[in-house]
Every structure is written in structure tokens, then in C-alpha cells.
Amino acid sequence: MTLAPAEQAITPRTLLQDLRKTHSQAKLASLLEVSSKTVARWEAGETECPPYLRAALEDIKKQQTEATVPASTDAPTFRFADLFAGIGGIRLAFESIGGECVFSSEWNKFSQQTYARNFGHDLPGFVDGLHKEANGHVFAGDITKVEAGDIPDHDVLLAGFPCQPFSIAGVSKKNSLGREHGFADATQGTLFFDVARIIEKKQPRAFMLENVKNLLSHDKGRTFKVIKETLEDELGYSIAYKIVNGASYVPQGRQRIIIVGFQDASVFEGKDAFSFDNLALQRNADGTSKLVNPTMASILHPEDGSEEAEEPFTVGSLATVNEKYILTPNLWAYLKNYASKHRAAGNGFGYGLVGPESVARTLSARYHKDGSEILVSRGVGERPRRLTPRECARLMGFPESYEIPVSDTQAYRQFGNSVVVPAVTAVAEEMQRFLL
């Protein structure tokens, strides 16, 4: 059957772009049984939207037209900015609850590559300044060089900001020097200052900030005191914070402080108020608790043929872990001697050996150096191995569809610096009640 000229003009990509007015990328990905990044590439024209999807897209359009509920209910429910984006762990969490990312900032060129690959951004190589994409999304490199006014309006600001040491001068010294009080002085020169100045300018309804748990105790608590006073007293937000352990969601002890803020103080009032305690009450669709406390068996390669080989991580018909991840004799001897020396001195330093029933130590950005904090046992008398980058992705809760386009060294750094995605998703779901 030959299509009429008018029908020929309506390509699968045209249908997709039309549906994106009312459907999020995540929703369309679910309906088409592909990944969100694939939908993003089709929408941007980076890859061709397959002709065979025309019928499926037309069917989605038809169902939308016939639905009794207005189609706009499936549109993104809020817009968010992703600062210090890394490889997008926080973004994954907030997209999963219906958010649309309108701004991303990441300074590391290798993280930019991974981020762009997985979220369908068409970046012109390394981005240092601002790059506005065809779909309106803005990507930035170094956030310290970005004017807050150039950032698109957004409802929620997200930031896993690095914590640089604060230098807090006394009020009397500030007065003698003629310096201002408030965050413009106390946090100048730190990356938190960039978070604060953007919040001040853009006035998002809410924010979520993530950092290492030691932020609470840094400089005898004075660092966090400045942050809290800045957010509450200077910027006028009501906040709640808690140290959340990723071990409830992935087989890794990983404690991070999460700070949630809302302009509306009533969010934290009443019996239905926002509370981190509600994370323990969250249930899956089948009624089971989302707190699963898994072991390493859930993320290790089974090496029995039950998963397809993913070179260079696993090879052969059984998808066996590549031999390159096995420690060399010299490195294994060094780590054993290092551990013995510290045990004799009464210290706890040494390597961390894990098996299927273990829970790992915290994965760090230095994992690429020797892998000592998490070594996978290969049996008595056998040299252990490092985790593969795919196992690291699983250990941080990234989906299997997440692509790893960089070297092992960069991948280890990226996952070691990332967030536990399901832990942040749990926080996002608790926030979602107040974002609709």
C-alpha cells in the first residue's frame, strides 16, 4: 500500500516529536520497550527512528486521543537542573518520577562523554561553556563560569556538590574588613557558593543536595552550620537532612548525607509531611519492601552462561570475567604484605575480600589504582580479581542498559564518585508527593 504524500510527510520521528509534547522520554521508552537514551537519540535525529515503529507510535497517539484523562497528565510534571551531574545518577532518579532535565553541568570531559551517551545529548566534543541543544536542554561545563540567569527556569535543583574546605571568618573580622555577612562571604570560593547563588537567582520550588557524611562533622560542625544557615536564613527554604546508607538497596556500605529543601514550609508539617523515615515504608508494586539489603551475588557476573558476554568485561560462551581483572602476582603479594604490616601495628588497613554472600566496602574513585577495597575471591589459593566496570555500575544501582563508553580507569572513577541510584530514587519518590 502506497502512502499519500501527506502521510509520507509524517515520519516516525515526527510522530515521536509530537508525542513528546505530552509524554516524557521515560514513558515513551517504556511503551516502546527501549531505553530513554534511545528515544532521546530518535527525537534529536542522532539516529533514525525505525519505520516499523510508525504503527506503534500511531497507536499511542490514538489511545491518547481516546483517553478520558487529558493527555497532558503524562507530560513531565516538573523541570529540574542537574548540577555537578557526574554521569547522571541523580538525574536517573528524578527522571524515573516524571521529571524533565532542562540543564546539566559537568566539568570533567570523560564524565561528559558518559553522560551524553546515556542521555542522548549531541555534544560537540568537550563542553567548556554553554551548549544549547535543539530540544532546548542546556549543557554547561564549569558551573563557576556560568551566569545563573543563563540557566533555564526549573522547579527542582539537584546537586551532588563536592565539599571543599570552608574558611569561616568571625563576624568581627568581617566587619573590620568591610565584608558582607551571609553566604556571599562565608561560602565564596567553595562550590556550595555556586549552588547558593543559583538557588537565589532561580528560586526553585525545591532542591536536593548530596554529599559525603563527613560534611556534618567537618571543621567541628562549622561547615554544615554555614550551609544550613545559608539555605534557611539567607535563602528562605525549609530543610530536612539525613545520612542515608545505600546498603539497603545495593550490597555496599555507602553513607551519604541528603539535604532536601522546599520553599513551602508546610511540606514538613502535619501527619503527611515529608520525612526520611518514610523511605523505610516504601513498597514495590507487588507489596514487597524496597529495602532489600542485597549481597554481592546480586551484582557479580555469574560466569555460567546465564548472561550474555559483554566484552571486554566478560568473554566467551559462559561470559567469564576477562583475565585482565585478576590481580597480578606482584600486586597481590604487595597487598597481602601491606595488610600484614598494618595488622601487626594494630591498624585496620588492608584489602577487602568479598564473596557472593558479602556486602562490600564503599567503592571509591581510587578503585582504579589497585582495587584493594573490594576484591572478589576466586577461591582458596587463587589470586582475587577486581570488579569489572559493569559490576561497579550494578553496585551503584545503575540499570543494565547503562552504557560505559570510557576506559576502565575512567569508569572506576566515575562510578566511585557517583550516587547509589535506588537510594536517591527513594528520596525522589518521597519528594514527588509535594512536586505534583
pLDDT tens digits along 145-187: 999 999 999 999 999 987 655 433 333 343 444 544 455 666 6
Collapsing DSSP to helix, strand or coil, 241 comes out as strand
SS3 content of the chain, % helix, strand, coil (to 5): 40, 15, 45
Residue 122: name the closest of 108, 136, 278 by CA. Answer: 136
Residue 75: name the closest of 63, 88, 64 by CA. Answer: 64
pLDDT in tens, 238-273: 999 999 999 999 999 999 999 999 999 999 999 999
Q: Is the bond preceding residue 76 a cis peptide, omega within 30 degrees?
A: no
State pTM to two decimals.
0.80
383 CB-contact burial (10 Å; exposed 0-12 / middle 13-18 / buried 19+): middle
What's the confidence (pLDDT) of residue 56? 87
For residue 281, pLDDT beyond 70: yes
Phi/psi for 64 (5° steps) reads: -65, -40
Compare 78 and 8 and report the one with higher pLDDT. Answer: 78
Instruction: State the average pLDDT over residues 202-229.
Output: 92
What's the confidence (pLDDT) of residue 294? 96
What's the confidence (pLDDT) of residue 332? 94
What's the confidence (pLDDT) of residue 181? 43
pLDDT in tens, 347-368: 666 789 999 999 999 999 999 9
Q: How many residues does the chain have?
A: 436
Instruction: State the average pLDDT over residues 313-338.
Output: 95
- C-alpha distances (whole Å) from 219 to each of 185, 192, 223 are 17, 16, 6
For residue 142, pLDDT beyond 80: yes
Q: Left (φ > 0), alpha (ψ -120 to 50) or beta: where does 359 sit?
A: beta
Long-range pairs of 241-246 with CB within 8 A, sequence gap ≥ 24? 242/276, 243/213, 243/216, 244/276, 244/279, 244/423, 244/426, 244/427, 245/423, 246/397, 246/420, 246/422, 246/423
Active-site residue, from 49, 101, 163, 392? 163
What's the confidence (pLDDT) of residue 6? 42
Residue 413: name the closest of 112, 128, 110, 142 by CA. Answer: 110
**Amino acid at the residue 228:** K
Percent of the chain with pLDDT over 90: 65
What are 61's three cell numbers?
497517539
> How far apart, in Å, do the first and last CA atoms of the chain sit?
45
Cα R_g (the chain), whole angstroms: 24
CA distance 314 to 79: 38
Residue 244: name the closest of 370, 409, 424, 372 by CA. Answer: 424
User: What is the 8-class DSSP label of residue 383?
Assistant: -
Residue 423: name the closest of 159, 163, 89 by CA. Answer: 89
For residue 72, pLDDT beyond 50: no
Compare 256 and 217 and report the one with higher pLDDT. Answer: 256
Domains of the chain as residue ranges with CATH: 5-73 (no CATH), 76-293+419-432 (3.40.50.150), 301-354+366-416 (3.90.120.10)
pLDDT in tens, 110-127: 999 999 999 999 888 899
CA distance 27 to 309: 29
Annotation says 101 is catalytic: no
Determine how many CB atoms are found less than 10 A away from the CB of residue 319: 19
Mean pLDDT over each residue of the chain, to the nearest integer: 87
Q: Model confidence at 135, in pLDDT bands (50, 70, 90)?
A: confident
Q: Which segment, 51-55, 72-76, 123-127, is predicted with the most confidence on average?
A: 123-127
* Strands of 247-334, DSSP E: 255-262, 314-315, 320-321
What are 396's three cell numbers?
551503584
